[in-house]
Amino acid sequence: GAVVSQHPSWVICKSGTSVKIECRSLDFQATTMFWYRQFPKQSLMLMATSNEGSKATYEQGVEKDKFLINHASLTLSTLTVTSAHPEDSSFYICSARDWTGGDYGYTFGSGTRLTVV
């Protein structure tokens, strides 16, 4: 089945630094990928929709200059948290969409636990 690899699985960084999270579709091409944020004991909130070769579409309230998304190829999307602060600490999950058997399929990465100290 479809596999999405997300790295790193956890990262600790100092306040003010930037962190890059990668999301790769391993055995399929994903024109569209999604980035979610999940706070403890809460649901997933869509941050942005990433389309290969074009600018990401950000949800209301998400700072595009802080959460930089790049989808340069059909198998890789990256999320860079710039100038991270403790309030950015969260669980970030990506999802890749593919079209198989006449239907959309959505595969989630295993998530990245970001802790900003």
Partner 1 sequence: AQSVTQLGSHVSVSEGALVLLRCNYSSSVPPYLFWYVQYPNQGLQLLLKYTSAATLVKGINGFEAEFKKSETSFHLTKPSAHMSDAAEYFCAVTRTGNQFYFGTGTSLTVIP
Site residues for partner 1 per CB under 8 A? 4, 6, 9-10, 32, 34, 41-46, 49, 91, 93, 95, 97, 103-104, 106-111, 113
Tokens matching residue 86: 């403790």
Tokens matching residue 57: 């579409």
Strands 112-116 and 67-73: unpaired
Minimum CB separation from partner 1 for residue 43, in Å? 5
Residues linked to residue 21 through DSSP beta bridges, in sequence order: 79
The smaller minimum CB distance to partner 1, of residues 70 and 105, is found at 105
CA dist., res. 38 & res. 44, Å (int):
5
Minimum CB separation from partner 1 for residue 6, in Å? 7
Minimum CB separation from partner 1 for residue 104, in Å? 5
